[in-house]
A and B are shown apart, each in its own frame.
Chain A
Amino acid sequence: MAGTERHYVSTTNACKLCKPIGACLAFRGIEGAVPFLHGSQGCATYMRRYIISHFREPMDIASSALSEKHAVFGGGPNLKQGLKNVITKYGAGIIGIATTCLTETIGDDVPGIIREFCQEEKDLFSNDTGPLLVNASTPSYSGTHMEGFHEAVKAMVGQVATRNGAAEDVNLLPGFVSPADIRYLKEILEDFKVSGTVLPDISETLDGQALLDYEKIPSGGTPISGIKTMGSARATIEFGRTLMGEHTAGELLSTRHGVFLSQVGVPIGIRESDEFFSAMETISDKKIHQKHEQERGRLIDAYVDAHKYIFGKRAIVFGEEDLVVGLTSLLSEIGVIPVLCASGGKSGHFGECVKAVTKGITDAPIVRDGADFFDIASEAKSLKPDLLVGHSKGYSLSRKLNIPLIRVGFPIHDRIGAQRILHVGYRGAQSLLDRIVNAVIERKQDVSPVGYTYV
């Protein structure tokens, strides 16, 4: 197997985004929150349009809009003015402040500035419901959007969670999954009859309804009251194999508040979903609801119905590390050979996690972390893939290779319905399976000289 070293100095067509965008996405999943970037205006605007084009929802990100002189003398005054404006005009319940490359490099002490701000503007914080200010350090020159996402979740937990509350909740830290995924996960929690805090919860904030009145801050999101009591929960379930052993929000809840931590992979495919459901069974002390058991049964039935159409097909999977690990797990169990797993991320655990989910089923695929699409395309030349599984930035490659791209994850800028794609659980596996198999069938049908109408 090839190593994981990058061949080039430069990056061509990156397969990753910058850290603050991840933080903004996570903050968007908190009730009453306004994501706030401490940096230049441009970064915020770019991120907004990137997010909007995927979710097709409004996405406001405030910015301290630094200009050159602030960069020289420090961004404190602008940050304070910006916070004040967001509090007074947006009525934010919480402001999630993420730094950018610029403010990290000039060395602004954001926690210090926030402390000063709270001192100076006491009347903005006079009652208990005054806005919370949470800050995450997210310089993009180390890490990707996923590190930014996790950093924001950890900041929420570290700066807001306490042990004051009734000890019956379960904390669910799903990572960056779709609004549809979150809605389904909440349904699962309900079916296990546990009250849970899902952090973050973008199920409504980034997939809202048509409205009569524009909402300054979209409704929905994890209630702050829920986050405040996370320290007293019975257990935390945290998704993401690459996070295991790292300093995560789940780990923080465990070390600081003694909350039992159960880490599972992003539950994509049967085996990873089984892990998740069994964790739920243990924590809730209840059996899986019949509904989900039936869904699992139907899924296996569908695996069987589909297996011959896809057996031995070769797939390239790319995107965020944990998502790729989950997808690889699914692909390997339906008989598709993952030939290359690539990510722009570089957690250091990608290879071992891919190995773990393919073990005993298929040969370990080539793994590339810190990869860009130039790397992926060069690998693809010799790999003869039949399909690509990943986000829409893989489209040019799929066009070049003339093979289908199964769109999953983020971003999907060239299709409608990205927010409704289901990835996790038995239901998610069912929908992914259908899409993958049908893409293969469709391609075969399209290029067939016969034009079978019956397959």
Chain B
Amino acid sequence: MTMETSSAVIFEERQDQIFRKGEQPFDLACNKESLAGAISQRACVFCGSRVVLYPIADALHLVHGPIGCAVYTWDIRGALSTGPELHRLSFSTDLQEKDVIFGGEKKLYRALTELIDMHHPKAAFVYSTCIVGIIGDDLEAVCKKVGKEKAIPVIPVQAEGFNGNKRAGYEAACKALFRLVGTGDIDGISPYSLNIMGDFNLAGEIWIVRSYFERMGIQVVANITGDGRVDSIRQAHGAALNLVQCSGSTMELAGLMEEAYDIPHIRVSYCGLEDMAESLYAVARFFKNPEIMKRTQRLIKEELSILYPRLREFRKALSGKKAAIYVGGAFKAFSMIKTLKFLDMKVVLVGSQTGTKEDYQELEEITDDGTIIVDDTNPLELCTFIKEKDVDIFIGGVKERPIAYKMGVGFCDHNHERKEALEGFVGILNLAQEIYNTVMSPVWRFVPRRAAEGVKNGRDRETLCVHNQRLQAL
């Protein structure tokens, strides 16, 4: 049972979610429900809300539902913390049959009480799951009661998995966060201050970004939510500016804060050369302070002077390699395409799980002719595309990795499990190094797809070997 031609593996219902640039005017359907029976790479609303709230390290995160939903999200993301690590524990009400029949409110109440007594969190988030939506527990009421008794914010997160996709989960999380914002004391916060939103401190990334702002002389009030703390989020309304990263995972919150507290926001990305630099400049421009601008220019100049020579080395090696990108939110893809272009690589396939029409429009604009753009794809389609485009490296999440490997394609993890920081200027180097490590590995000469290429391939690799040694010596 091997692959057939692409028409055979692409579901009719999904034809309009795939676009080949250059063939016809741009049009791509998206934000549709996943097709039953197609193996979507998407997760659920609950998952989206966990992505956003999970990194708050001194809060209790209790999943109200049967055990699976909690156990599959236990410590799966590398959201690091400088202090408390309560977020790395997995708490569940572990609903049993009798709870499903008679309702889970009592159990939830007791679980919350016992966990708060045991761990003394600064706040508690209670996530509802699909089944809670069905049995109709009144989360709000239980949370309110416990909140009063324990004198901490206990916040329900309405994240029934079937209530849409990840995006809906982001919204649920933002609504939950908004309940915290505005409850803290904002005395003494600098007029040159901001909140970092939509960064989850994977592999310590928010530390990198924070250090840039510190060098620019700007106070970071709240990390939302990487290495996040309940108290600083409560003060977030004291900041002068909100920086929103990630396709909209915290957009909703920025909107709410703009309305309630008149805090403007700008959208940024810390991935990739241009985007990283432009993000810092945008912040400097916003504050209209020549000193800050000067410091920003100096910072970027310093960073680039370290970066460029090393990147040029990578560029030599990676030039012409063909890359496929499949990510959760499309924003990551923009930055990545630019970085790959800088490395003189060709992006032949790009897609996302939850991109919007505007996202795809933008992708269409920055990609070359022939590039495949795809929404909410599945393993069968991905394989067809990999073969059709003869991809050298796949950049994606953990579910894409075995597909790439099976077919003898290099892989770079750009998902929430990554252990290498890919943000900031240093992140660009890390990304290049990661790509280099996988593309240049000698193992590919043995995989069936390449083995057939024989001698020519062998020669290629030798020159690369020399190159490899040079790089390691650097």
Contacts and interface: CB of A to CB of B under 8 A. Distances in A.
A70 B163 CA distance: 10
A78 B160 CA distance: 18
B68 A140 contact: yes
Interface stretch (B129-137, B188-196, B249-257): B129-137
Interface in A16-58: 16-21, 32, 36, 39-50, 52-53, 56-58
B302 interface: no
A65 B71 contact: no
Interface in A75-122: 78-79, 81-86, 89-91, 101-102, 105-106
A180 interface: no
Contacts of B163: 67-68
Nearest to A71: B162
B45 A56 contact: no
Q: Which of A12, A50, A211, A216 has the most CB of B within 10 A?
A: A12
B39 A140 contact: no
A45 B40 contact: yes
B217 interface: no
Given A10-B111, A141-B97, A214-B406, A105 B401 contact: no
B43 A42 contact: yes
Given A71-B130, A82-B36, A210-B406, A16 B67 contact: yes
A47 B72 contact: yes
A263 interface: no
B135 A105 contact: yes
A282 interface: no
Contact of B9 (A9, A40, A89, A211): A89
A32 B1 contact: yes
Interface in B73-130: 73-76, 88-97, 99-100, 107, 110-111, 114-115, 130
B449 interface: yes
Contacts of B22: none
A89 B134 contact: no
B248 to A, nearest CB: 19
Nearest to A55: B402
B403 A214 contact: yes
Contact of A105 (B34, B131, B386, B449): B131
Interface in B164-204: 164-165
Contacts of B38: 62, 85, 89
Interface residues of A, number: 76
B135 A14 contact: no
A52 to B, nearest CB: 5
Nearest to A106: B134
A12 B91 contact: yes
A61 interface: yes
A59 interface: yes
B85 to A, nearest CB: 10
A101 B66 contact: yes
A65 B90 contact: no
A341 interface: no
Nearest to A21: B68
A12 B91 CA distance: 5
Interface string B359-397: 000000000000000000001100100110000000000
A212 B66 contact: no
Interface of A: 8-14, 16-21, 32, 36, 39-50, 52-53, 56-68, 70-71, 78-79, 81-86, 89-91, 101-102, 105-106, 139-142, 144, 208, 210-217, 219, 393, 396
Interface of B: 1-3, 8-9, 11, 33-47, 62, 65-76, 88-97, 99-100, 107, 110-111, 114-115, 130-131, 133-135, 160-165, 379-380, 383, 386-387, 398-399, 401-403, 405-408, 446-449, 452
Given A14-B90, A47-B68, A85-B37, 17 more contacts: A10-B92, A45-B42, A49-B72, A52-B399, A63-B39, A65-B33, A70-B162, A71-B133, A83-B37, A101-B68, A102-B131, A106-B134, A210-B448, A213-B2, A216-B2, A216-B9, A396-B88
